[in-house]
Structure 1
Amino acid sequence: MEGAKVWLEQTGSTLNTVLDQQRKVYRRFGLGSSYAKVMKFSILLQYSEYGVVNRDFPDIPPRLLEDIYQMGGDFLLDEAGKVLLCHTCKTPLDRPTVTDILQAAQH
């Protein structure tokens, strides 16, 4: 819960947020943890380039880093709970495009 609070403060998001402490919804969407996917050379190389392009990592207090191998996903649901977009990340940097999200929102 504290991690979600920090994220909301840092982003200023006003979106509805679901907290899933037991990760039941997380698992239902097919998400999990993967050392191999997080520690791939190509991912580590991209992270190493952050300093060169003056890009910062998110400011996350160390006490909130529970599972650094946790894989994410992006999901868009309508008001009735119907899933409009389901994107399970193949790597930590894999995200849907803004175009994909906007197209899903129009349906």
Structure 2
Amino acid sequence: MNSSLIPLRVVVISFGCQQGALHWLEETGCQYDMLLDPHRKTYSAFGLGASLKKVLNFNNMLRYAEYVMDNMEFPRGLPSIEDDMFQLGGDFVLDEHGRVLFSHCCQSPIDRPSVEGVLAAL
């Protein structure tokens, strides 16, 4: 592998509406570009589904309870926006030709790959 730096572009893809996306970016302080996929074509192409069982399982509920007990703040949704809390996300690294170098389909809302795992794909 070439030892020179690889230019990267991080993009967040959301299935929500523009108003909700802008609110989420503000609430979280996320500095990355966001693209909207309201018909979830990208989600489908990467095999990302929705699951009540995976989102509301005991371990996730326990983790959320721990967050509440630790006084962690969660991003607040807008009451005027309907959201799909059962949609699962993922993390992917693509090269400049669109080939998938790294793929992680989340098994729950709190399932994320390690930074080391993602960087190893580069």
TM-score, length-normalised on structure 2?
0.74
Match of 1:81 among 90, 98, 103: 98
Name the structure with the higher helix share: 1
Say whether 1:71 aligns with 2:88.
yes
Larger Rg: 2
Determine the structure 2 residue equivalent to 1:41: 58
Determine the structure 2 residue equivalent to 1:53: 70
Uncovered stretches (5+) of structure 1, i.e. residues with no partner:
none
Match of 1:8 among 7, 13, 25: 25
Please give the alpha-carbon distance, in whole angstroms, between the structure 1 residues aligned to 2:92 and 2:101: 7
Name the structure with the higher strand share: 2
Over the matched positions of the two proteins, sequence identity in percent amounts to 47
Determine the structure 2 residue equivalent to 1:22: 39
TM-score, length-normalised on structure 1?
0.83
Q: Which amino acid aligns with 1:58?
A: P
- Once the two structures are TM-superposed, the CA of residue 94 in structure 1 deviates from its matched residue by 0.5
Could you say what the CA RMSD is over the residues aligned between the two structures, in angstroms? 1.8
Q: Which amino acid aligns with 1:64?
A: I
- Once the two structures are TM-superposed, the CA of residue 15 in structure 1 deviates from its matched residue by 2.8
Please give the alpha-carbon distance, in whole angstroms, between the structure 1 residues aligned to 2:30 and 2:70: 26
